[in-house]
Structure 1
Amino acid sequence: MAVILFVLILWYGGLFFQSFFLHRYAAHQVFTMSKTMERITFVLTWIFQGSSYLSAYGYGIMHRMHHAFTDTEKDPHSPKYDDNLFAMMWKTKTIYQDINLDRIAVDPRFTKNVPQWKSFDRFASSRFSRLLWIALYVLFFVYFVTAWWQWLLLPVAFLMAPIHGVIINWFGHIYGYVNFQMKNTSKNLFRFDFLMMGEGYHNNHHKHANRANFGVKWYEIDITYVIIRILNSVGIIQLKRV
């Protein structure tokens, strides 16, 4: 039971900070926060994403590129131009690393106001940091595993952020339903997105990219947006529009 709870905390904790900080703040800037709160959120993202930590800078730029070039050859991740999900994620990883290491020229429209904390990102993305989290996860499993099948969850803990990316960027362009007919393959995975905390409303998001609430229909409850509204009401963040 402890192992399952641990993986669920990593799943939803890492997913929240990916959606809240990397996606809606870094890429789309649907709300603002103080510099101190931004730094705190960097650290919390590292804690909850652990071994699969993603930098706000690399993620934010790459996601803006995805919106600009959706389902074209310039899209960093598209099932339309990749043979399988592993090929897509390898291509995504390469582009992400090239952005973070300044190995490619990036159009200034994709970098505008994207948060960056270079020194922290160097540490959080380092091999030392990733191996440290992996070692801590292994120790936790060694101590708390009660059945052999629970070991199958260990790779999920290691690769949490890429798994979240595969679900949205691969399956979210293949399976599901659409509220808006568009010139891309984006789809809504769930009518109530219990699994991806609102990120599964991918077709809605591609239609209204700068909207804080990814849900459109009454039953499309965006859990991340609910938390955002709470944080806004207590003054931790400031929504640009409701």
Structure 2
Amino acid sequence: MTILIFFVALWYLSLFSQTFFQHRYAAHGAFTMTKFWERFFFLFSYITQGSSYMSPRAYAIMHRMHHAYTDTEKDPHSPNFSSNIFSMMWRTRTIYSGIVHNRYPVEPRFVRNLPEWGGFDHWANSPLSRLLWVAIYISFFLIFASSFWWFLLLPVVITMGAFHGALVNWFAHKYGYINFRLGNTSRNLLVVDVLMLGESYHNNHHKKPSSVNFGSRWHEIDPVYPIILLLKRLRIIHFSKKTTHLKT
């Protein structure tokens, strides 16, 4: 039971970091925050994502490329140009690594207003950091796993961020329903998205990328949206001028 609680907590905490900080804030600038709070969420993302930590800067660049080049060969993670989900994940990882280490050519339009913490990102993306987190996870499982079967969750724990990304970027461009007719294959994967904290409303998101609420229809619950409103009320974040609240 301890392993299950740990897995569920890590699933949602790491996913929250990704959708709130790396996606809505870094990639789309749906809201702003002070440097103090930006550094706070850098650390929060590192703690909650562990071995699968994603640089907010590199994530933002790659995600902006996805929106600019959706379903084309320049899309970092398009099912149209990968034979299976694993080859797409590997291609995404290669491009991400190239961006992190400044080996991948990036257009100037994709690097505007990015959160930067170079020294911290260098450590958080280092092999040593990732190996230390893997060691922590393995130790936790060795101590608390009451059965060998719990270890089947360990690969997902280690690659949690990539696992989340693959679910959305592969399946939400293949399956689901459409609210908005767009010039791409984006779809809303889940009718009520508690599992992916609103990230599966991919068609809605492609319609209005800067919307702080990924839901559109009455049944499309975005669990992160009330948290964003609370953080705004607490003045931890502030809505930017381009912020929208997606409604049909």
Report the TM range for the smaller structure's normalisation.
Answer: over 0.9
Q: Is structure 2 residue 227 aligned with structure 1 residue 235?
A: no
Aligned length: 242
Q: Residue 49 of structure 1: CA displacement?
A: 0.3
Amino acid at match of 1:30: A
- Secondary structure of the residue aligned to 1:212 is strand
Distance of 2:227 and 2:11 partners within structure 1: 16
Distance of 2:92 and 2:102 partners within structure 1: 15
Map 1:21-32; keep pairs closer than 5 Å: 21-32=21-32
Amino acid at match of 1:105: P
* Unmatched segments (≥5 aa) in structure 1: none
* Unmatched segments (≥5 aa) in structure 2: none
TM-score, normalisation: structure 2: 0.96
Distance of 1:165 and 1:8 partners within structure 2: 17
Question: Deviation string for 1:182-220 (max 9, x for gaps)?
Answer: 111111011110110000100000011111111000111
Q: Is structure 2 residue 90 aligned with structure 1 residue 90?
A: yes
Question: Deviation string for 1:99-158 (max 9, x for gaps)?
Answer: 111112211110000111110011111111111111111111111111221110111110
Q: Which moved more, 1:160-169 or 1:148-157?
A: 148-157
TM-score, normalisation: structure 1: 0.98
1:175 aligns with 175
- Secondary structure of the residue aligned to 1:173 is coil
1:206 aligns with 206
Distance of 1:76 and 1:104 partners within structure 2: 12
Q: Residue 23 of structure 1: CA displacement?
A: 0.2
Q: Which moved more, 1:185-194 or 1:61-70?
A: 185-194
- Secondary structure of the residue aligned to 2:181 is coil
1:187 aligns with 187
Amino acid at match of 1:10: L
Identity in percent:
53
- Secondary structure of the residue aligned to 2:80 is coil
Distance of 2:172 and 2:27 partners within structure 1: 18
- Secondary structure of the residue aligned to 1:184 is coil
Distance of 1:51 and 1:224 partners within structure 2: 23
Aligned-residue CA RMSD (Å): 0.8
- Secondary structure of the residue aligned to 2:94 is helix
Q: Residue 15 of structure 1: CA displacement?
A: 0.2
Distance of 1:225 and 1:172 partners within structure 2: 20
Distance of 2:151 and 2:140 partners within structure 1: 11
Distance of 1:108 and 1:116 partners within structure 2: 16
